[in-house]
Amino acid sequence: CFLLCCPLYHCDCGNSPSHGIFWQGWGAGYSEIIKENKLFEHYYTELKIVPEGEFEEFMETMREPLPATIRITGYKSHAKEILHTLKEKYFKEVQDLEVDGQKIEAPQPLSWYPDELAWHTNLSRKILRKSPLLEKFHQFLVSETESGNISRQEAVSMIPPLLLKIEPQHKILDMCAAPGSKTAQLIEMLHSDMDVPFPEGFVIANDVDNKRCYLLVHQAKRLNSPCIMVVNHDASSIPRLHIDQDGKKDVLFYDRILCDVPCSGDGTMRKNIDVWKKWTTSNSLHLHGLQIRIAVRGVEQLAVGGRMVYSTCSLNPIEDEAVIAALLEKSEGALELADASADLPGLKYMPGITSWKVMTKEGQWFSDWSEVPTSRHTQIRPTMFPPTDPEKLANMKLERCMRILPHHQNTGGFFVAVLVKKAPMPWNRRYPKYLQPVTVLHVDMKCSVCYSPPPPKKMKLFGFKEDPFVFLTEDDPIFPPIQAFYNLSPDFPKMNVLTRTHEGKKRHLYMVSKELRNVLLNNSERMKVINTGVKVWSRNTDGEQFGCAFRLAQEGIYTLCPYIRARIINISVEDVKVLLTQENPFLSKLEDDAHNQAKKLEMGSIVLRYLPDPQDLDAPQCPIDLCGWRGKTSLRAFVPRNECLHYLRMVGVEVFRDKQGKRNDGSTETQEGSTEDAEGLSQEADLLEQEGEETEQNGSESNTNDTEPVSSSCDGPTS
């Protein structure tokens, strides 16, 4: 969680930007802070959101440290491999372990999360340090988190994306997305079929804070999707976008919207213990109006038949049921609360409440708007109270809201509601698109009403100025050499390729889906785009002598591979081990099949492809594509460090650092006769794959001679 402006902050219950530090402190509490707040206890006792007889247990749980929860991320087949490694290796080793005579409690799956892809554990930092086996487990978690294959995410934070029921064709808006743990879930759901490189749907992830947008980019880019765009706007006034639909301009309406609004965060007290001393009812009173404005803007942009999930990590009905009730009342029947009770079997929750009161920070209670003195009207609004009409209240079905209480399943506190749009919002039905009623005075002095568009407002841009997004044309001279070298299939979508500069040599090429291209081209003046597209090629000047100036980039390999029909070497599990543990192996180090394929290829960029064998259940059961370079006499894989370690684990190579800091990864002799570990290779690959703009301004990215790997002239592209 990131404090934006005390005491109002947005809690995503998601990942920290510093994963290593985050993992080191999991399970630990802060004993120096007194976990008491009498006003909090009085408030929630009075509201009766906790079942009778459970309040003491509720408060005891709130004072306990929150268990660490992890979610296995990535696309389905790869996620299954990580789950297999966790269950068959690390969890089995931990479940029978004793530390200081005490049996270790093994991690347990979250009962309501599909396919056992989310787990929780009470292992503390102190225990992790006392056992070499636990230390290996810890290092595995840190490394896989850094590479994006595991996400440290609070359990309740995983709920909203699941309730959206994402399908690959859905157009999705995440209104308050940073730091991005929920956004990552949305992207994964879009890519449920790994064989489809460009799903029809996309995710537009927005955040109001420019700096937090870059945390969001960091999270999203680890998934290497061409279907994500990060934008920077105030969610309560996020612009309405246009798209080309059958040659005509049309308004973009989203099929799914995640509306995880800024909140007071009192459901996060187990993790954010500052809330204990800062909590007051005024936080909710201040946020209520903003939450309604964001939710209203969301349903305005939701397609009819679409689904919006509203969520907070607050237990307060002023931020929860009151906002939903206000939204339903404004909609005049256009919205309805969906019954999501059967969507997550195993999840324990309390139904939404239909009666609540409002309390000031001084402890004064009001049961109805009529009781509020005029002097309080700026702080307390009518929408903070439940509807007074019993029939209207019953029709809202507020009991369909879901409140997760910490003591029921050892989680944080959370609120979620699922809204379905049955018809256009009433104010959109009343007036044509973009037309507002204005009064015009005629010559006869009689007033009449006509319609005219509101005056255009110039978009205010804050933060860093981003480079442009420039799409290439189909006849761009950059394509023929690439097309010939990689033998791209005729259906390769050239129109989806973009670069980030209008002038000079194009150093990196990126790809987006056709649908995101449509959004970008039609809204460049309407929105501030922070990042989009996945890098698929990078310029390698020395590569021109082999017929192509662009080498493949690992980030976009799974996007490109369905279109590449040449420069592919099929490799075995043993080949993967050789390529990822040796710096610059001779072709002869490969098994015969891969060796023979490599000998037939000219020097230059290649795809190294492992295809699973269903008969060999001990080998990875998911495809692996690696970027590589065919040198004169040797072959090299170019994979970022954390991905390198990830793939080594998948093929059964133990990778960990001992107490002296030395990495043990089963490395073998290189052609130069020295022992190179995966970290040595991966540091070089890190530099290669994370080239910045400074690389774009100074000379060649690579050399291509077979010489000492540590020199500036090596067998493949180095930075």
How far is Cα 603 from Cα 715, in angstroms, rounded to an integer?
10
- The set of residues, in sequence order, having a beta carbon less than 8 Å from that of 702 and lying 6+ positions away, is 540, 541, 542, 543, 551, 716, 717, 718
H/E element, 274: helix 274-278
How far is Cα 361 from Cα 109, in angstroms, rounded to an integer?
40
How far is Cα 136 from Cα 129, in angstroms, rounded to an integer?
10
Torsion-angle region of 610 (φ positive above 0: left; ψ -120 to 50: alpha; else: beta): beta
Torsion-angle region of 277 (φ positive above 0: left; ψ -120 to 50: alpha; else: beta): alpha
Is residue 227 marked as binding? no
How far is Cα 376 from Cα 681, in angstroms, rounded to an integer?
65
Active site residue 259: no
Angle of helix 132-146 relative to helix 641-650, nearest 10 degrees, comes to 120
What is the end-to-end Cα distance of the chain in Å, rounded?
36
Q: In what order do the strands lie in the sheet with 568-571?
A: 568-571, 604-610, 624-630, 635-637
Q: What is the DSSP letter of 88?
A: I
Q: Beta strand 68-72 with 118-121: parallel, antiparallel or unpaired?
A: antiparallel
Is residue 637 marked as binding? no
- Residue 26 in 3-state DSSP? coil
Is residue 259 marked as binding? no
How far is Cα 496 from Cα 485, in angstroms, rounded to an integer?
19
- HSE of 492, CA atoms in CB hemisphere, 13 A: 22
Residue 195 corresponds to which tokens in the numbers above? 């064989």
- Nearest-CA neighbor of 699 among 500, 541, 487? 541
Is residue 106 marked as binding? no
Is residue 592 marked as binding? no
How far is Cα 298 from Cα 59, in angstroms, rounded to an integer?
34
Cis ω for the linkage preceding 7 (within 30 of 0): yes
- HSE of 702, CA atoms in CB hemisphere, 13 A: 30
H/E element, 204: strand 202-206
Is residue 195 marked as binding? no
Cα radius of gyration (the chain): 28
- Nearest-CA neighbor of 291 among 267, 317, 255? 317
Residue that has been written with the tokens 């906790």 in this structure: 50
Q: What is the DSSP letter of 463?
A: S
CB atoms within 10 A of CB 308: 25
At 188, the amino acid letter reads: E
- Residue 386 in 3-state DSSP? coil
Length of the chain in terms of residues written:
719
How far is Cα 582 from Cα 715, in angstroms, rounded to an integer?
13
Is residue 176 marked as binding? yes
How far is Cα 447 from Cα 454, in angstroms, rounded to an integer?
19
Is residue 652 marked as binding? no
Residue 235 corresponds to which tokens in the numbers above? 């969610």
* Active-site position among 1, 263, 313, 622: 313
SS3 content of the chain, % helix, strand, coil (to 5): 35, 20, 45
Is residue 234 marked as binding? yes
Letter string b/e over residues 160-195, b meaning 16 or more CB atoms within 10 A of that residue's CB:
bbbbbebeeebbbbbbbbbbbbbbbbbbbbbbeeee
Q: What is the DSSP letter of 211?
A: H
- Whole-angstrom CA distances from 416 to 41, 419, 525, 599 are 22, 10, 34, 58
CB atoms within 10 A of CB 712: 11
Is residue 490 marked as binding? no
Report, as residue numbers or ranges, the catalytic residues. Answer: 313
Residues annotated within the binding site are 176-182, 207, 234, 260
Residues annotated within the binding site for S-adenosyl-L-methionine are 176-182, 207, 234, 260
